[in-house]
Structure 1
Amino acid sequence: MIKNLFCIHTKKRGMWCPQVKKKTGMNSKAVLCILFSVAVAVICATVFVAQPVSSCYGPHVTANISATEINIYESVTVEGRVCLGLEDELNLTVRVTFVRPDYSWIDQPVEVDNETGDFSVTQELDMAGYWNVFPIYGHINDRLGVTVIDPSVDSSNPPPIVGSPFKPNMLVVTAAITTVSISAVVAVFGLRKKTRKISFLRLFIQVALVYLIFFGIFVDHEILPQPASKIPVHEFVVETEFFGVEMADGLPVPFFGCYYPCGRTVTCALWEIQTSIYPFWENTSGWGVTYNSPGYVRLAVIIGVVILLSVLLGKIFCGWVCPFGLYMDLLSYLRKAVKIPHRDFSESFNKKFHQFGYVILALLIVVSVIFASEAIVNAQLVPGTEDGGFVFQYFSAPFCQFCPMKPFCVLLESSVGLIRPEWISQVTTGDFYELGYYVTSLNLLVLGVVTVVSFFYRRAWCRICPLGALIALFNRFPPFKWVSVFRLDKVEEKCTKCGICKRVCPTQVTEVYDKKGGDVTTSNCIMCLRCVEMCPYEDALQLKAAGKTVLRSRNWLESS
């Protein structure tokens, strides 16, 4: 009876009761914003009360060199320190390796002071050019460099660098020819299948781009016409320069062009963003490269390049370029081959799951800033972030210690002989092998979970990928959305709400189905164009580039 007190009886609608909105709490976005603001406020407040510290956190080795430029046959002195713990044995030895410009080297074993952990060594340098110097303690090392000049040689006309004869890895060449050929055959014969034309073409492009992204696997670094100072560790990067800022680590790209395996030509933007903040905020030298500008300047360039590429191509990087996206697509093909149906998340969970990528992106930036606090505000918030410290050695790029792409690439290249297995294991440590440079138990655990989940749930990682979130920020949100080149359009009059677009979407995007018409591209769409391929209504869905239609849906239900 109480419920009917405010009800009105009408002839047309019968008994009508006004809907009273229930009071609800703050939505999840508001709560997230508040928590994030509180976290930032706490961090900022801590900065003012934190005191700079200068302590030795182990295990690590750090060193300095007496000069960075000398004449030939002169000597340099390397002085450093090993952090000694209570469990360390006495009479430790550090190996200091001096690598010549022609990649031959001189090893100098040096005893460490049992009380202070200090060591020192002097070496005469007998070849003109750039020398890399590595103080090595166990599985970790520091990296220094010195340029040796020969006064008797005209510096304006240096002698050419002569490397050893190039011997290609035939296993890699064979694998490249085989995989590209198979994908090409699949793409050609797939044109006969109307509902797979775009998918098979996309597969061929993905496979071909993998070998372009990691083109350096075909090139021996010893035959490159550049000095050792310009060659990052085991890479063949395309160096770029923007407004006088040299990007020595390569062109930053918004997909997984992983830094760690051999042969990359471009570099994952997340790695460059993290390391530009920490540990290279002020440094002019990185891991095997020399910078001509500090980290905050490079960071501005990186963000500018990411914005430009995101506006130009957007999530096409995710659907057509990213090597890890190809890996998940291959898992889906494998699942179909063994006739196991895919699974879907609930719609409510999937929408929340997609937001997790922004959380990961925010966390990696905030953590990097905290680690760089000593360089930014002269207050060390976390112990071990100093040069050579524990955090410096193992968490310089925090997201990369959990990223599934790193172990996938490294293990794949190790399986074909591009990276020696002992290199991978030598720099892995910890009670559970959770610390290291190449592959750790944390990386392997994440890769294993992502692999299993992506086998059953299509493109599972793409839904929480921080790189995808980074692209979406500069492509699907104003003002970038207004100028983005590619977009997916829907013609309302030709859509019958059949729901095929929603069912075939690998990341379970529903906006293409839900929206009436116009621009239906969303931040969660990876632009794989599976919806355009499967839509059975002529011109109902269209991919547009700068307003011009590039691809459109076709009525594949009609007979040929």
Structure 2
Amino acid sequence: MKSKTVLACSITILSLVYILSAQSFVEVKGCYGPHITAQISSNEVKVNESVTINGEICPGDPNVTIRVTFTRPDYTWIDQFVVTDSEGKFSVTQELDEAGYWNIFPIYGHICDRLYANVTDPNADPNAPIPTFELPPYKPNYTLVSAAAISLSLGTIVAVVGTKNKTRKISSLRLFVQIGFVFLIFFGMFIDHQNIPVPAEQIAPHEVLISTEVLGVSMPDGLPVPFFGCYYPCGRTTTCALWELQTYIYPFWDAGRGWGVNYASSGIMRLGVVFGSIILLSIVLGKFFCGWICPFGLYMDLISKLRKTLRIRYRVLSDNFNKKFHQLGYVILALILILSILFGMQAIANTQIIPETEKGGFIYQYFSAPFCQVCPMKPLCMSLQTSVGLLRPEWLTESTTGDFYQLGYYLTSLNIVILAIVSLAAFFYRRSWCRICPLGALIALFSRFPPFKWISALRLDKVEKKCTKCGVCKRVCPTQVTEVYEKKGGDVTSSNCLLCLRCVEMCPYEDALRLNLAGKTVMRSRNWLESNEF
């Protein structure tokens, strides 16, 4: 109880300090670029009517040629070229000659903004089906498809061979599941979407792959998932819930234009879908996502395997410190939410608390998703995308304001530094990042407190009379969770447990530990002491 009080006070003090310091800032208009911003005269027009695009570049250089591309619904396009005036502003007018959804791209060098217009034909039959147009055929990336097939084949072999060892059955199965989910999460990368003709290639492939609707709420970024499925790589099939949680507060609270997509529903409705999805998934499976699905969890496990190969012993934290260390995830989560709300106050309450949060401001440009600027998973996702040939490897070392960032991949040098620190820590302390992961904390929020805890479908149970307090479960736990060892019996699942089931796998007593799904036992401990297999 004392630690929770200290934690709550710390968050409150940090919030007050940040708000007071933010209010003392003097707003200074500046150019943090280069970038281009534009507005359209109307998003709803009739066929053969004209729209005007007004915009500006930053820095406001004169006599710069701007390309404005009007992409029709059938993915043909019209190019117009205009020169900026003495203040770096430009204006262009175009007649829209086809009914449907137009994408409009004002392009400044390698940087572009995106606008849209919905063009209707008043003479068209209202009962006629809406014409649909398909993107040009995607070109399969056979190199990556082959690599995926080989990896899954090797994973199958490892799983089959591993199951012969009683103390590796579950671990082998988990490794196979983890590898399989990496390909499922990023399977869109197996497709060379660069085959789409310019400028239609500016249209994000995920807009076609994963855009969906939930109870009437438009979710063009896809359904949120409680594991690191990074938003930024093109071709992903899911979206990290933490990214949606941040950006739907700021900068996409209002319905309208997003990064490569258009939001038909308000931010509050989209946040409702995010929280609803997380609550539902947390109730059903809890942190099973962390132990069995999360790609970054697989990365942590591979580092541990490297350490074992080098015969280097892992280190442990004291039980007391480890329990407090786990609380850091909630602090990080709270700071993410606080920063997002402070940044988004202009849209939420029509009051700008933090300067430079307006469109084109420094924070809008570079810190609108604060956690994503330090997320250790992002460089790994970018590396995956590099392997498909969609970006140059040297971009991984660009700074925040480099060409790489401006191209829309939003990777900063800080991401690389954090990944290096996390990797080094994971080498000596098993699953060190998972102990403070804010996404794991988000899942735990809905699985540790009543009534959610009472209706959890996935439980780890212990039979007290079969437990001898040998301590094996405590020693093999990668995050040093002690509840399985300390609790007498019954449900021993804790909010810090990743449900990796290493304790079930290594427990040497028959049926002492059981994993139950909706009351049905799906895995149980076995007496491997009677066998010579280790």
Where does residue 348 of structure 1 map in the other structure? 320
Where does residue 12 of structure 1 map in the other structure? none
Q: How many residues align?
A: 526
Contact 2:187/2:237, CA 8 A, preserved across alignment: yes
What is the distance in 1 between the residues matched to 2:17 and 2:421? 33
What is the distance in 2 between the residues matched to 1:431 and 1:96? 23
Structure 2 letter corresponding to 1:35: S
Contact 1:532/1:541, CA 8 A, preserved across alignment: yes
Contact 1:237/1:265, CA 8 A, preserved across alignment: yes
Match of 1:503 among 475, 497, 507: 475
Contact 2:399/2:413, CA 8 A, preserved across alignment: no
- The aligned runs of 1:31-50 (5 Å cut-off) are 31-40=6-15
What is the distance in 2 between the residues matched to 1:79 and 1:506? 56
Structure 2 letter corresponding to 1:383: P
What is the distance in 1 between the residues matched to 2:510 and 2:333? 39
Q: Among all aligned residue pairs of Structure 1 and Structure 2, give the percentage whose two residues are the same amino acid.
A: 60
Contact 1:495/1:540, CA 8 A, preserved across alignment: yes
Secondary structure of the residue aligned to 1:557 is helix
- The aligned runs of 1:207-222 (5 Å cut-off) are 207-219=179-191
What is the distance in 1 between the residues matched to 2:386 and 2:515? 40
What is the distance in 1 between the residues matched to 2:246 and 2:220? 15
1:399 paired to 2:371: yes
What is the distance in 1 between the residues matched to 2:124 and 2:391? 38
CA RMSD of aligned residues (A): 3.2
What is the distance in 1 between the residues matched to 2:188 and 2:172? 26
Select between 346-355 and 438-447 the one with higher mean Cα deviation. Answer: 346-355
Match of 2:221 among 246, 249, 253: 249
Q: 1:56 offset after TM fit, Å?
A: 5.7
What is the distance in 2 between the residues matched to 1:523 and 1:423? 40
Select between 519-528 and 228-237 the one with higher mean Cα deviation. Answer: 228-237
Structure 2 letter corresponding to 1:332: S
Match of 1:82 among 14, 34, 57: 57
What is the distance in 2 between the residues matched to 1:301 and 1:106? 37
Where does residue 3 of structure 1 map in the other structure? none
Match of 1:119 among 87, 90, 97: 90
Q: 1:458 offset after TM fit, Å?
A: 1.5
Q: Which has the larger radius of gyration?
A: 1
1:265 paired to 2:252: no
1:324 paired to 2:301: no
Structure 2 letter corresponding to 1:482: W
1:58 paired to 2:22: no
Secondary structure of the residue aligned to 2:495 is coil
What is the distance in 2 between the residues matched to 1:474 and 1:234? 29
Q: 1:65 offset after TM fit, Å?
A: 0.7
Task: Label 1:453 to 1:478 Cα distance change in 2 as closer, same or farther (>3 A).
Answer: same
1:147 paired to 2:118: yes
Match of 1:489 among 453, 461, 473: 461
**So what's the TM-score if we normalise by structure 2?**
0.89
Where does residue 163 of structure 2 map in the other structure? 191
- The aligned runs of 1:311-390 (5 Å cut-off) are 311-390=283-362
What is the distance in 1 between the residues matched to 2:169 and 2:383? 32
Q: Which runs of 5+ in 1 are unaligned?
A: 1-25
Q: 1:508 offset after TM fit, Å?
A: 1.2
Secondary structure of the residue aligned to 2:333 is helix
Contact 2:400/2:413, CA 8 A, preserved across alignment: no
Task: Label 1:44 to 1:410 Cα distance change in 2 as closer, same or farther (>3 A).
Answer: closer
Where does residue 285 of structure 1 map in the other structure? 257
- The aligned runs of 1:383-532 (5 Å cut-off) are 383-417=355-389, 419-421=390-392, 424=395, 429-430=400-401, 437-532=409-504
What is the distance in 1 between the residues matched to 2:136 and 2:349? 47
What is the distance in 2 between the residues matched to 1:39 and 1:481? 30
Task: Label 1:293 to 1:434 Cα distance change in 2 as closer, same or farther (>3 A).
Answer: closer
Where does residue 275 of structure 1 map in the other structure? 247
Contact 2:170/2:502, CA 8 A, preserved across alignment: yes
What is the distance in 2 between the residues matched to 1:285 and 1:89? 26
